[in-house]
A and B are shown apart, each in its own frame.
Chain A
Amino acid sequence: EPEVTQTPSHQVTQMGQEVILRCVPISNHLYFYWYRQILGQKVEFLVSFYNNEISEKSEIFDDQFSVERPDGSNFTLKIRSTKLEDSAMYFCASSYSEGGPQYFGPGTRLLVL
């Protein structure tokens, strides 16, 4: 069964450093998303991406964040200058259609020291 994959599974970084989280969405899906989940809290929407541009973003997704689809299979989330409060699980998701069910990857656990 096709699935969303994410790398790395864990990332430890120093405050102020840049990180890039990578995702390979399900191959025939057209809509891509990033969510985050701070330990013990709800899953929170960050951004959605369709047709090579951001379709929607939340208040969390400030200028420190960016997304890119550098090729036909990868979808990346970059955090330019990490802060302690960016420590969380970051989940990539994809869906075939607008409003369709979103399928999640296993997540990247980011720890900012």
Chain B
Amino acid sequence: GQQLNQSPQSMFIQEGEDVSMNCTSSSIFNTWLWYKQEPGEGPVLLIALYKAGELTSNGRLTAQFGITRKDSFLNISASIPSDVGIYFCAGPKVDSNYQLIWGAGTKLIIKP
């Protein structure tokens, strides 16, 4: 079935560094969503992408919808301690407008 593969699984970085993570699939997605989840909290929507090639920013976050529609990346510039959390990509299951398929997440840890 459809799967989203996220990499890396985790990242240990210094405060102030830029971060890049990506999400790939063997099947096409028409929408890519990036969420952040902090411990004990629900996923918070960061960026939604709807068109191949689309590049969208939200503050220090930038995400792109890959041209092939099989991948997306999320960049965080100049990381700060509150960026710590797990970042998930998600997209609608084929033939569904409701059911989101989720990646396994990229855990971001920032060394002080």
Q: Residues of A at under 8 Å CB distance from B?
A: 4, 6, 31, 33, 35, 42-45, 48, 55-56, 58, 91, 98-99, 101-107, 109
Check B102–A105 contact: CB distance below 8 A: no
In the complex, residue of chain A having the shortest beta-carbon distance to the beta carbon of B33 = A101
For A6, the chain B residues whose CB sits under 8 A away are 42
Give CA–CA (A105, B44) in the complex, Å: 9
Q: Given contacts A91-B43, A105-B42, are A43 and B98 in contact (CB under 8 A)?
A: no
Check A102–B100 contact: CB distance below 8 A: yes
For B103, the chain A residues whose CB sits under 8 A away are 42
Check B44–A56 contact: CB distance below 8 A: no
Check B98–A42 contact: CB distance below 8 A: no
Q: Is B11 an interface residue (CB 8 A)?
A: no
Report the minimal beta-carbon distance from B22 to chain A, rounded to whole angstroms. 17
- 15 A-B contacts (beta carbon < 8 Å): A6-B42, A33-B98, A42-B103, A45-B98, A45-B101, A48-B98, A55-B98, A56-B98, A56-B99, A99-B98, A101-B48, A104-B35, A104-B45, A107-B41, A107-B42
For A42, the chain B residues whose CB sits under 8 A away are 102-105
Give CA–CA (A55, B93) in the complex, Å: 14
Q: Is B82 an interface residue (CB 8 A)?
A: no
Report the minimal beta-carbon distance from B45 to chain A, rounded to whole angstroms. 6
For A104, the chain B residues whose CB sits under 8 A away are 35, 42-45
Give CA–CA (A58, B98) in the complex, Å: 11
Give CA–CA (A36, B33) in the complex, Å: 18
Q: Given contacts A33-B98, A48-B98, A55-B98, are A43 and B41 in contact (CB under 8 A)?
A: no
For A91, the chain B residues whose CB sits under 8 A away are 42-43
Q: Is B88 an interface residue (CB 8 A)?
A: yes
In the complex, residue of chain A having the shortest beta-carbon distance to the beta carbon of B101 = A45
Check A102–B45 contact: CB distance below 8 A: yes
For B45, the chain A residues whose CB sits under 8 A away are 101-104
Report the minimal beta-carbon distance from B4 to chain A, rounded to whole angstroms. 9
